[in-house]
Structure 1
Amino acid sequence: MASKLEMSTLQMDILDYLSKNKFVVPEYQRNYAWGLGECAQLWEDIVAFFEGGWGGESTDQNPYFLGSVVFYPIKDKKHIVDGQQRTTTLMLLLKAMHAKLMRENNGKMQRLLDNLASCLWEIDGVTGEPDPTKPHLISHAISDDKHQVLQNILENGLEQDEAEDSSNYEKNYRYFVTQLDEFSANHATTFHEFCLCVLKSCIVLSVECGGQDEENRLEYALRVFNTLNTRGLPLVDTDIFKSVIFSYRTPQEREAFVTQWQELEQECDIDWLFRLCMHVLRAQKGDKSREIGLRPFFLNKHRDLLKDGSIMQEIAKMQEYWHSDEVSSKVSHRAYQFYNVLYTLDSGYWEFLDGAYYAYCQQKGKDYFKGLEEVLMRTCAHFLIYTIARHPGQIKNLVYNAYTSLYKTGNIDFKAESQEILKSVVTTQRREYTFRTFFEAAQTKRLTKTLVALNMYLKYPKQDTGVCEKPEIEHIFPKKWQTNYVKLDKKEANALVESIGNKILLEKPLNIKASNGYFDAKKPKYAKSKFLEAQDLAKFPKSDWLLEDIKARTEEIYQRLYVFFKEYAV
């Protein structure tokens, strides 16, 4: 007699879902693949839900739905067939929350800490104490050689330097730590409510496939997953938009629309084009409010654009701007240099300003390419000043100000305080902070690369932009220096090595060959580089590159960038 197969579905909030289950990612599963993009989308969606009225009378009726999860039980563990990416990411988010609250524990949040702990770890039935060595999620995926990293994070958090991160677990956990710190700083009185919102108002649909025979449970769970995956999972935003547009077309229009949509899917990221269009529409409407999701924007606020099909004209315009060879061939060499600088930034919001500027020029019959260089240089200057001065959270508002003013007055006004930041002095109990102070402390890998690239293009306007796809940072004075090379204590050496005056861009093969060699031995490698600055260093008259050289180059770089910021951050 065949074993009876059972399936139970249950809507569960995150607290119940993670505290009442212990999960295993089975051997046959793929590795943990969610990156910063998926984590950012999840974070932004939850924040938007919280800020959109969480705690009101309709919250229980309209929770935030995270999707369905399919699993089957073996003993006391639930083996995940579908949903490991979301479940793992939620565990990382909750661990980051728990770590932050533990650091700030004032004795008034024990219930919240207990709830988070019950989601993360097994709780001792006698003492009530959590056991961090027994997490509620364990990965056995044989394709994932980093799953021990997950266990270490869930047990101990993350202490090593960001440069040592080698897995999505570390990068995503660190992302949530940063976002929670920033959110808490801006929402000090409601941060604990936000944590509760995640636990109690974010839900999943759990689908548990049971039965007596273990092999049949797995097969059944896979069948359920395949059915949901092809027929029952929630549609992505653009699939819903496609169905709305299609439903309002005449029979004669539908075939052409389907062909156009299929071509878009093959050539580009439709979701990204819709997001560009959303910002263009915001610019046209003078909308400077916080960005909302694509679905509420187009289905609730601008459904008429889907119904009459006019959105496809805007999509085609954005496709031309983003993908057309004709457009890219007209972009000047100087503009491409500043595109290269902007692409190295953490914030990609400059793309929405650029897209809005292109649409504006098309609408008004203006030459987009004529003013492009200045727009890019101004954008670059404002973005970098705010990033260096540690105000990255305000960059979005600069973009909103810039593109709405463009449509209102014909001019781009960032309404920024960049000039004030350049000359301001911030006094604390311990010391005074100037823009120069922040500049010298700007040692994140990505920001340093941006500043080095900007300096190079300002110093060498004829520098080719297509030298290599991913240039690397080369330390002129080697990171692993020998004591017989120069006599320095460790602290002084670290400051010396990591100063911006000690860094240039170099092709990866040459960077490997240059390695930690003496400066005089590196010169022949520099001479082979297509970066003009490296070529000049190969002609440096001294055989040694020492502290005074680094200080002089740091000063030169700062003065060059400061002059640029002063001129273009307007």
Structure 2
Amino acid sequence: MQAHTLTPTEIFGNQVRHVVPLFQRPYVWNEQDQWAPLWEDVARVAEDVLTAPVGYGAPAVAPHFLGAIVLDQPAGPPGFLTMRQVIDGQQRLTTLQLMLNAAQRVAAQHGSTLHAQALQVLVRNQPEILQDPSEAYKVWPTDRDQDTFRAAMDGDGTLSAELAGSALVRGHDFFVRAIAEWSQVTGDPDKAAARLQALTQALRDHLKLVVIQLEPGDNAQVIFESLNSRGMPLLAADLIKNLVFQIAQARQLDVAGLYRKHWEQLDTDHWRLRVARGRQYVPRIDIFLHHWLITRTLREVPADRLYLSFKEHLPTPPDQLELPALLADLSRDAANYAALEQWPAGSAVGRFRYRVLQAMDSAVVTPVLLWLLRWTDQELPTVQRDKALAALESWLVRRALCRLTSKDINRLTLDLLRKLDETGPATAGDVTETFLAGQRADSRFWPSDDQVREALTTAPVYRTLLRARLRMVLEAVEEHRRTPKSEQPHCPRNLTIEHLLPQGWQTYWTAGLTEELATDRAALLHTIGNLTLVNNKLNPSMSNRPWTDEQAQSVGAADTGKLTELQKHTTLKINADIVLTAPHGWDVEQIRQRTAEFIERIIQIWPAPAVSAAVAALATAEKEKVPAGEVDEPEEESAPGQSIALTGKYRPLTDWLREQDAASLSVTFDELETVIGGPLAPSARTGSGYWYSQSNSLSKAIAAGGYQATRARLVDETVVLVRR
């Protein structure tokens, strides 16, 4: 390559056309970061020219260096213009053209014809030798910017709102205003002409660029990479795009065709928009490329090494790369990624996007979603795709609800991708479920039903779960409560989480208060059974009211109670249920029962695979050294409405309860073990949620005896059994 330091006159003075390849990024410079600092430098040089002594031996005006550009001379049809391809520096060259054209326009209006013509030759080629109207411009940008560049340079004053708002037009307008203000065109005409003359000389002869001219055999991409830190930092996507199309150009492929078919869709504001990724804001296209590279390489890709990871993924030498296939793969996954928000809310993909990627903020598993979406229905049956997504969603939600670590999800995602890649798409759902069910490490296991019950029964989820996650869980319970034929099967989004027993219950809820009741309220206040969703946040006076209208009126709080206010602010099924089950009051017993009901729905919404329940029971027995005979044995399920006939170890408890006449029985765990003739399951002593479950053997035995468990106290090892 050859490098020369040239002035704008030497770069643009001849009949020349600098063409920006269509695969380069669009114009992105702005006033704060580039236009204003550049103009300040140019204005300083013009001031030096204006005040410099004239005559033989006078010191020369110091030039200002604008940086480096890289040009290549591609082979092409013969013509009357010298053609140059801009490898690097297109932002700088384009901006220089905008400034030269702006100065020419101001000089033509307020200076002399001579100054305007001196600048005109630097921005326009002679019309007599042109074969195409676009050849009139000394710089011709990438196709996305051509209309706006032409509008900026021609300035006919009839621009559409879209063109007028483009960066190129705004940049040109900035330089026109700045030059007119500096030249003082509204003052003395002679003074303005003198200042415009100094500016013309500065622009033509006192700006310098290092022009690197490539020669045959030079690696344009290596030079491009070494200079990419100049000006506006390049996105990783820009570097990848240039590398890919430089390879395509070197192999004499149809660059324009490949670009328009596979990459043009990515050169839009939608993809360059910065969106949240954790605490950072990152261009959407770089986030997508990060996920895509993981699916392609099946290994961890550091977010700050996307371009290097992409290069390392390419075969050596690059001519072995099946470039059209690579671009087709990338554009297909990009289209799937862009279309995620278009999936119906009730579809497995739509649910996964909202619940996992958005509410759970678990974007780390996006590569799995992209892998599943890349196949046709024939390659990956829809039922298998949906099964895979449901399994991964259940695994993630259950671990979050159990407050288990998420530090290993990125490695688990890679292991799952490798397994899917090994087995192929046809059985992706079965493979995903089996893979997740087989994880045994603390950072990877799939929580069982009992573990979810234990975690949620007394957990203050309002404080321990992020609001978005907690809201999503309540929405899911509401949707599960609705019937399939409901006119609105999906819960509205962005509702407010409200406590049923108020956080400020001490204001009106002290009648009959005992120390034990106060303790129970404090323990259950933030549990899931005491939470609901409302359209708008209730103000404190409404939120803390007594429960019923009569109670509110009796203490002079208001005409209506909290239950009535809740009904005004929502039509959700989970709130309608409260009206039916607790029309007269709301307190700890109702909270416990609603918590147990919600937990059972959560278990149904996000089920664990059948194999995991048995595996978890055996693992628990082994861990706690409990004899195998003491692990709950599965019982036969009865049809709805029928009494449950048990034949397992809890049958004596059922028989004993059927003999009792009391409305409630307060018994100790030891007394129950005496009735049963053996030990309770370990979970009965470690998780109060076990007592409120409707699916384990102990609860079924109690229900078959006509009772249900309430007020299970693990500290005292007592439980109250109330007749159903």
Q: With structure 1 as the length reference, what TM-score do the two structures score?
A: 0.49
Between Structure 1 and Structure 2, which shows a larger proportion of helix residues?
A: 1
Higher relative contact order (CA 8 A, sep 6+): 1
Instruction: Determine which structure has more spread, i.e. the larger CA radius of gyration.
Output: 2
Q: With structure 2 as the length reference, what TM-score do the two structures score?
A: 0.40
